[in-house]
Amino acid sequence: MLSCKHTIAQGTDYLDKELGFWRKVEMKMHLMICVNCRRYVKQLKQTVIMLSKGQFKQPSKEQIDQLKREYKETNSKQ
């Protein structure tokens, strides 16, 4: 049986469906009986979704205006 420490070390491969057949079976068996690791995998997934949707650095108004000017100028030439 995998230890909890080894189980969570495979969390990313499990979520990204990169585990081989037997490692996946082993992992699923552990998750069935271990609430802490089950929570961990769920939390890891929530963290990844949060990162994919997060807006950590919005552009300033000046940056947007400058890019809009660039966009307009380039398009008018084409």
Partner 1 sequence: MTIESLPPEDELVERLKNNDVQLFERVVKAYHSAMYGVAYSIAGQSIADEVVQEAWVSAINAIHKFEGRSALKSWLIRITANEAKTRLRKESRSVSLDAVDENWATDTRFTQQGHWAEGNPEWDISSPDDLLAADELQDCVKKHMVKLPDNQQQIINLRDVGGLDMDTICNILDITASNARVLLHRARDKMQQVVARFQRTGEC
**Residues in contact with partner 1 by the rule CB under 8 A:** 3-6, 8-9, 11-13, 16, 18, 36-37, 39-40, 43-44, 46-59, 63-64, 66-68, 70-72, 74-76, 78
**Least distance in angstroms from the C-beta of 23 to partner 1:** 13
Which letter does DSSP use for residue 16 in this model?
A: T
Question: Using DSSP, how many helices (H) and how many strands (E) does the chain show?
Answer: 5, 0
Which burial class, exposed, middle or buried, applies to 37 when counting CB atoms under 10 A from its CB (0-12, 13-18, 19+)?
A: buried
Shorter beta-carbon distance to partner 1: residue 26 or 44: 44
Residues in the chain: 78
Find the shortest distance in angstroms from Cβ 28 to partner 1.
18
